[in-house]
Amino acid sequence: MDISIKQKNDQEYLVTIDEKNSVSDHVVTLDEEYYEKLSNDSPEEFIKKCFEFLLEREPKEQIMQGFNVEEIKEFFPDFEQEIKKK
């Protein structure tokens, strides 16, 4: 599985997940303040870790096509705690 991330603008990123001849695209918004609270990585690396977290819990087809990274904690309450470990 390959996860590629391209920055669209200050806060939006295009994430492409390529898995066994099946591709999905997702537009993700990342608020700088929220991201800095959780990570010292680059925004792209942080987003990649967020998608790895999601993919450990659900198939790529179930990941929303567009969302703010902060919304992940609404579906997975352990998100912030777990992402800090990655």
pLDDT of residue 21: 86
Classify residue 1 as exposed, middle or buried by CB count within 10 Å of its CB (0-12, 13-18, 19+): exposed
DSSP-derived letter for residue 45 is H
pLDDT, greater one: 86 or 38: 38
Instruction: Work out the average pLDDT over 33-57.
Output: 96
Q: Which tens digits make up the pLDDT trace of 51-78?
A: 999 999 999 999 999 999 999 999 999 9
* Residue 37 pLDDT level (bands cut at 50, 70, 90): very high
Instruction: Work out the average pLDDT over 20-34.
Output: 94
The backbone torsions φ and ψ at residue 31, rounded to the nearest 5 degrees and listed phi first, read: -80, 125
In terms of Cα–Cα distance, which of 40, 46, 31 is closest to 79? Answer: 46
pTM for the model stands at 0.95
End-to-end CA distance of the chain: 18
Q: Which tens digits make up the pLDDT trace of 5-15?
A: 999 999 999 99
